[in-house]
Amino acid sequence: MFATEDLSDDGFLCGRVRLLQPLKGYRAATDPVLLAAACPAVAGESVLDLGCGAGAAALCLGQRVPGLALAGLELQAAYADLARRNAARNGIPVEVHAGDLGRMPSALRRDFDHVIANPPYYHAGGSPSPVATRATAMQVDTPLSGWVGAATRRLRPGGWLTLICGTDGLPEVLAALSPKLGSAAVLPLASREGRPALRVIVQARKGGRAPFRLLAPFVIHAGAAHDGDRESYTPAAQAVLRDGADLLAHFR
């Protein structure tokens, strides 16, 4: 487990969510916030966060949509413990289990209305982080198709998968959707206007039959380059990352 002196206390959504995170290791940034903003859950529904880390995505979603039944699965026990601590300190109940998505804990072998996931996207074979917990969190072990398969098994008929990944993983994710997931939509995430999208959010429905849709890119930063140390978010990104708005209109 992480010692208190090895943790930072970080604010997300302008401090609406407080997250204890390791000073060294995997640290949540914008991806889980964007993931949470894209999930179409409404009060009274159930959500499973695969690879929940310290709980950033689940807690940002729970802050935006009160009344959800939130659950998380995390491979690393130390991060699962952090997710439980973060849920308690934010007053947002999350049922967190430590385990491998390939061998789902029995307590999570039930149907959910939504599954969200932010899988690792650095392929094994590169230079791993010297911090073991960060290397485990960031480098691919289970392929993306395995994440999609695990999510599919946990979704009820008509339930939604929302997943964020690198664009190089998109072909594998789309191939893994068939035959049980359909009505897929892909939202490219571009760092700036005119730049290639390096990440995408994929949304698909169990049993969905609607045609595939490639959506207009969501641009995160304004201007051609960073202006000093300022975040320079576009108004749309500011609304999501700071004010807690959702991305649902982009998927309609």
CATH value at residue 221: 3.40.50.150
Q: How far apart are CA 129 and CA 136, in angstroms?
A: 9
pTM, rounded to two decimals: 0.91
155-166 and 197-206 beta bridge pairing: antiparallel
The rounded average pLDDT for each run of 10 residues, N- to C-terminus, in the chain (252 residues) is: 92 97 93 98 98 98 98 97 98 98 96 97 53 47 95 98 98 98 98 96 98 98 72 94 97 94
Q: How far apart are CA 103 and CA 198, in angstroms?
A: 30
Q: What is the pLDDT of residue 230?
A: 66
Q: Which residues in 170-182 are b (16+ Cβ under 10 Å) and which e?
A: beebbebbeebbb
Own/partner contacts of 231-240, CB < 8 Å, gap of 24 or more, are: 240/33, 240/34, 240/37
Domain holding 8, by residue range, is 4-251
Tokens of 58: 């689940």
Concatenating the DSSP letter of every residue in 90-129 gives HT--EEEEE--GGG--GGG-S-EEEEEE----BPTTS---
Residues in contact with 188: Cβ distance below 8 Å, sequence separation at least 6, in sequence order: 167, 197, 199, 200, 214, 215, 217, 218
In total, how many domains does the chain have?
1
Q: What is the pLDDT of residue 138?
A: 45
Beta carbons of 138 and 122 less than 8 angstroms apart: yes
Beta carbons of 53 and 137 less than 8 angstroms apart: yes
